[in-house]
Structure 1
Amino acid sequence: MIEVSVNDRLGKKLKVKCLQSDTVGDLKKVIALQIGTAPDKLVLKKGHQVYKDHITLDDYEVHNGFNFELYYG
């Protein structure tokens, strides 16, 4: 189990526990439950990289302590 950070730069900072075998879509569902927004409205980025819903966190080499930027789309 890993813990990743999510920051929307509007004051919301979350720490979310997930598995490396989870997809980005699964992670978005967990984040959506915590902030009360639909998961299809969330966009996870890091720099210019946009993370696709069907790819696992392990494939993206997301590790413990990874920081995502959260945008609302």
Structure 2
Amino acid sequence: MIQVQVNDRLGKKIKVKCLPTDTIEDLKKVLSLQIGTSFDKLVLKKGHQIYKDHITLEDYEVHDGFNFELYYV
């Protein structure tokens, strides 16, 4: 189990526990329950990299304490 942090750049920081085998879409679904926005309207980025829904966290080498930037579409 790893814990990642998501910053929406509007002052909201959310910590989410997930498994390394979870996909980005799974992470977005958990986030959508916590913030009340549909998961398909969320985009996770880090720098200029946009994370694709069908790829797992371990494939992206996401580790415990990783920080995502959250954008709304």
TM-based fold match above 0.5: yes
2:32 is the alignment partner of 1:35: no
* SS, match of residue 5 in structure 1: strand
Regions of 4+ moved over 3 Å: none
Q: 1:16-65, CA deviations, whole angstroms, 9 ceiling, x for partnerless residues?
A: 00000000000000000000000000000000000000000000000000
Q: Distance in 2 between matches of 1:53 and 1:7?
A: 18
Identity %: 79
The number of residues matched between the two structures is: 73
- 3-state SS of 2:53 partner: coil
Runs of 5+ unmatched residues, structure 2: none
**2:13 aligned with 1:13, yes or no?**
yes
* TM-score normalized with structure 2 length: 0.99
